[in-house]
Amino acid sequence: MRRRPTTTLIAAGMLGALALAACTPGSTSGGGPTASQSGAVNTDPASMGTVTLTVWDQEVRGGQAAQIEELNKEFHAKYPNITLKRVTRSFDDLKTTLGLALSGNTPPDVFQANNGRPDMGKFVQAGQLLPLDRYADAYQWDERYPESVRKYSSYSTDGKTFGTGSLYGLPRSARSSASTPTRRCSPRPASPRSPPRGPTSRPASRP
């Protein structure tokens, strides 16, 4: 499958537009209550009890798929209380089914998504993504990801203005992807111009 050029949730040519959505430590199990947007952020995954996170990604090619599986295995070995339920889909299938899944009763906790208005912007506007600003502060993401990267996963709360406002994703790689969480999980990247079209990403990888 040929990867399409993009600008991400993080971007191709810069950091890509495919966002890997995911929840940061503190997420509830699938079907749990809406995550709180106030209070202290728990940054100790081992203290969170038993957690299962459903993660959708489009890393279906051999080497990429094997790398994700190995990372998940290492994460689970370090935090055996957290299970990552991985669901792989082709780029086209992911783009087609993600909107329906987020509107249903069992949306993924973490997923890859395009950072453009037809995808991420629409999800923000519908209130389906959890703002990650509190987690960015707790994990000091501003020191790990420059503003020039984070702006590609930022939107105004109404989902209309790209590149400013709250952070809704993080890059999963130095390409076109970012990580974005859905509202049902407690998580775990802008110019005012329209974002480039193409693939963009809530769990995104936990810090």
- The predicted structure's pLDDT at residue 161: 95
Tens digit of pLDDT for each residue in 160-190? 999 999 999 987 664 544 555 666 555 444 3
Going by CATH, does the domain composed of 1-28+51-207 fall within 3.40.190.10? yes
Q: Which residue has the higher pLDDT, 18 or 83?
A: 83
| DSSP code string of 144-180 | HS-HHHHGGGEE-TTS-SBTSSEE----SSTTTEE-E
Tens digit of pLDDT for each residue in 112-137? 888 888 999 999 999 999 899 999 99
Q: What are the residue boundaries of the structural domains of the chain, listed by start?
A: 1-28+51-207
pTM beyond 0.85: the answer is: no
